[in-house]
Each structure stands twice: as structure tokens, then as C-alpha cells.
Amino acid sequence: MTGSAVRLDDRYGRAPRQRRRALLPATIVVGVLLVAAAAWAVWTGVGGAGASTALSTTGYTIQGDRSVTIGWVVTGDASHALVCAIEAQDDSGSVLGLKEVEVPVTGREDRSGTTTVLVTRKPTTGLIESCRRA
């Protein structure tokens, strides 16, 4: 660089060291965004049963103050075994009992079953809450 170019760089803050310092915050922001995007992709893509899975509760029978039997159907994602959460709840939606059930691959798109869930006090409903790949 010539003498006048060095003076102009100093005058207007274009020294190489200052350029690196100016890029540091932008680099950190981009890094944080990439980590957040990767975490979101893993959480929604890998951990779930898939967008094509539908859950239905076919009925429930309250058996006193101790348990409830819940009928359910899982439709879709036929090529993977699933683990489904079956819940017993009260009027306010509080979970009184929970049981995770493994739903094996059967070769059919619709897989169904019944599950008895033990509870802490008398429930008012039972349902299949969620499923994920086993």
C-alpha cells in the first residue's frame, strides 16, 4: 500500500484488524441461527411419528376410581414401529394416568388397540395423546 492509502484506511477505520472485529458479531449470529435451525429440524423431523400419522380415540370405559380402558387407532406411517402415549384425564385436562404402548409394524396402515391406564383418582376421559417412532 502506498502512504496515502494507509492514511485513508486509518482515517476511515478500514484497517484489517477492525474488519475482523466487525465480522465477529455477524458470525456469532449466523452460528446461533444455524444451531437453532438444526435443533428445530431434529425436534420436528426425527423425533415425531411423521406428518402422515393420524391418531383417533375410539372410546373409553371408566372402571371405577382405579383405571380407564381406552380404545385407539393409529393411521399412517405403516413402515415404522411407534410408541404412543395413552392418557387418562379429569375435567380440567389434568393427566391422572399415562401409559406408553409400543405399536408394532403390522403391514397395515390402520393399527388399533385397547389400553388400560391406572389412575390416581377417578378420571372423566381417556385418549391417545401422541405417537413417536420407536
Boundaries of every domain in the chain: 3-46, 54-133
Identify the pLDDT of residue 23: 74
The model's pLDDT over 38-62, given as tens digits with 9 standing for 90+, comes to 877 776 665 554 557 899 999 999 9
With contact defined as beta carbons under 8 Å apart, do 44 and 36 qualify? no
Nearest to 130 by CA among 21, 56, 29, 63: 56
Identify the pLDDT of residue 9: 66
This prediction's pTM: 0.61
Q: Which CATH fold would you assign to the domain 54-133? A: Immunoglobulin-like (2.60.40)
Identify the pLDDT of residue 27: 83
Identify the pLDDT of residue 3: 59
- Low pLDDT (below 50) residues in the chain: 49
